[in-house]
């Protein structure tokens, strides 16, 4: 083989390898294509429609669904905090995952905001999930509320969980990607569970296992039980 041709082939190999490496996220998985998110029953999850989210399998101790709380350590808080309900029997909060760019169904690997709609109760701050500083230790990297739509602090995406607990139930994980909505670190951070004085909270803790969850349809009064 001629030296020039060998050099060109080697150069192409190096460029291709670097492109594959650069397309990975902090999870170490290749950048995913956009897929429609499915709920626990295998049905398409609607964009900007309320759903419950929580562990795929219950009966494992204090592993309830995600909710908002206005009370932490017997003190009222505002904005509200995002926590995991200690009871497996509770339905948890209702959250809307809204893509930046209107779509009928929720898609993986697309930037979105997460909220519970208009504020209710005494706290008038918004219900959009936010991380004040994703690279700082707790409490700065714990998920709370009070942000606005399409801001670096409220910039999330849903991706498929790499090793699902149950093959029958579609499961996902969250990533916080501040640079996709403005200034911030040029990477995405996996969202994990962090135990804060006995309270299980969502956080961008580095090195923790990503929080695996499923979408659960909100039961309406006219739904068949």
Q: Report how far apart the first and last C-alpha atoms of the chain are (Å, whole number).
A: 71
Q: What are phi and psi of 5, to 5 degrees?
A: -65, -40
The span from the CA of 109 to the CA of 69, in Å, is 28
H or E element that contains 192? strand 192-196
- pLDDT score of 4: 44
* Contact in structure between 209 and 91 (CB atoms under 8 Å): no
Do 92 and 82 touch, CB atoms closer than 8 A? no
CB count within 10 Å of CB 157 equals 23
Domain ranges of the chain: 1-31, 32-217
pLDDT for the residue numbered 131: 96
Nearest CA to 36 out of 133, 84, 104, 105 is that of: 105
The per-residue pLDDT string of the chain (225 residues; one tens digit each, 9 = 90 and over) reads 444 444 434 333 333 333 322 333 443 333 457 899 999 999 999 999 999 999 998 765 557 999 999 999 999 999 999 999 988 888 999 999 999 988 999 999 999 999 999 888 899 999 999 999 998 999 999 999 999 998 999 999 999 999 999 989 999 999 999 999 988 888 999 999 999 999 999 999 767 789 999 999 998 754 433
Label residue 182 left, alpha or beta by phi (over 0 means left) and psi (-120 to 50 means alpha): left
Q: What pLDDT, on the 0 to 100 scale, is given for residue 221?
A: 52
pTM greater than the 0.85 cutoff: no
Nearest one of 86, 57, 46 to 217, comparing CA atoms: 46
With 0-12 CB in 10 A as exposed, 13-18 as middle and 19+ as buried, what is 121?
A: exposed
Q: Which residues of 34-49 are buried (b: 16+ CB within 10 A; e: fewer)?
A: ebebbbbeeeebbbbe
pLDDT at res. 31: 47
| Separation CA 128–CA 107 (nearest Å) | 19
- pLDDT given at position 182: 85
pLDDT given at position 32: 54
Q: Which residues contact 180 (CB under 8 A, 6 or more apart)?
A: 111, 155, 157, 188
CATH architecture of the domain covering 32-217: Trefoil (2.80)
Q: Report H helices in the chain.
A: 3-22
């Amino acid at each position: 083989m001629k030296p020039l041709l060998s050099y060109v082939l080697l150069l192409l190999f190096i460029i291709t390898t670097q492109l594959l490496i650069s397309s990975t996220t902090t999870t170490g998985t290749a950048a995913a294509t956009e897929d429609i998110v499915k709920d626990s029953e295998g049905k398409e999850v609607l964009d900007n429609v309320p759903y419950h989210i929580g562990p795929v399998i219950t009966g494992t101790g204090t592993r309830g669904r995600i909710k908002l709380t206005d009370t932490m350590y017997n003190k009222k808080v505002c904005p509200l905090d995002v926590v995991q309900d200690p009871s497996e029997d509770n339905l948890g909060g209702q959250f809307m995952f809204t893509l930046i760019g209107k779509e009928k169904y929720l898609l993986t690997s697309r930037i979105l905001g997460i909220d519970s709609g208009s504020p209710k109760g005494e706290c008038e701050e918004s219900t959009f999930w936010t991380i004040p500083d994703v690279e700082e230790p707790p409490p700065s990297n714990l998920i709370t509320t009070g942000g606005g739509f399409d801001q670096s602090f409220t910039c999330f995406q849903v991706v498929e969980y790499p090793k699902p607990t149950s093959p029958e139930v579609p499961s996902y994980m969250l990533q916080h990607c501040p640079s996709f909505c403005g200034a911030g670190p040029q990477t995405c951070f996996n969202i994990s569970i962090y135990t804060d004085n006995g309270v299980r909270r969502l956080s961008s803790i580095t090195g923790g296992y990503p929080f695996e969850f499923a979408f659960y349809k909100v039961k309406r009064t006219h739904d068949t039980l």
